[in-house]
């Protein structure tokens, strides 16, 4: 559909974006600035829905790469306006917090972004009444094992209702 809301032109394409047909009469000139911003917004939205990178970082990176015209930069939504809409879209893709300890962990959360194992252990105890989940990549484990100093911290405050404790182990590495 044309970016002009009053224009009734529809373009039908197949899954490889090959033109199938055009319906309607396109009776106005193209606004290149609107088209440029629409393409940029679509590119940002695609990344936001497929990555876990912060919306602010995606926005900044894509703006820097886009080399927008002055007209397009003037009509582009601000980060605050864009983040609000995209946060809602991202939340729709985020699974609900489970109400019990018996639930499936989506494969997306079992692996790193480079498709390496991240869910290290998933153990049920006391006939499914308790569950232990351990997350770590092989690289993180190697850093931990190679570290001379480790820090351990436990908290009960930030857990979801069906879990009792979050236990963190940090490796002291590179002076941090």
In a domain, 21, yes or no: yes
88 with 142, same domain? no
* Judgement on whether residues 15 and 47 belong to the same structural domain of the protein: no
Tell me: the pLDDT tens digits for 66-112?
988 888 888 888 888 888 888 888 888 777 777 788 888 888 889 98
- 86 and 48 part of one domain: yes
Question: What confidence score (pLDDT) does residue 137 get?
Answer: 92
17: in domain:
yes
The answer to whether residue 116 sits within a structural domain is: yes
In a domain, 141, yes or no: yes
Tokens found for residue 36:
């440029």
Q: What is the pTM of this model?
A: 0.52
100 domain-assigned: no
Q: Which residues contact 130 (CB under 8 A, 6 or more apart)?
A: 101, 124
Domain that holds residue 20: 1-29
Report the domain count for the chain.
Answer: 3
């Amino acid at each position: 559909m044309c970016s002009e809301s009053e224009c009734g032109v529809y373009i039908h394409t197949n899954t490889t974006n090959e033109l199938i047909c055009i319906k309607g009469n396109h009776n106005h000139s193209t606004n290149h600035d609107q088209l440029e911003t629409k393409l940029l917004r679509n590119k940002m939205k695609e990344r936001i829905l497929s990555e876990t990178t912060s919306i602010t970082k995606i926005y900044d990176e894509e703006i820097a790469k886009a080399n927008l015209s002055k007209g397009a930069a003037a009509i582009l939504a601000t980060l605050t306006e864009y983040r609000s809409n995209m946060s809602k879209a991202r939340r729709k893709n985020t699974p609900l917090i489970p109400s019990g300890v018996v639930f499936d962990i989506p494969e997306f959360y079992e692996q790193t972004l480079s498709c390496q194992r991240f869910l290290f252990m998933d153990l049920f105890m006391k006939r499914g009444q308790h569950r232990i989940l351990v997350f770590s990549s092989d690289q993180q484990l190697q850093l931990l094992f190679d570290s001379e100093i480790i820090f351990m911290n436990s908290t009960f405050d930030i857990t979801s209702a069906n879990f009792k404790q979050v236990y963190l182990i940090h490796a002291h590495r590179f002076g941090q």
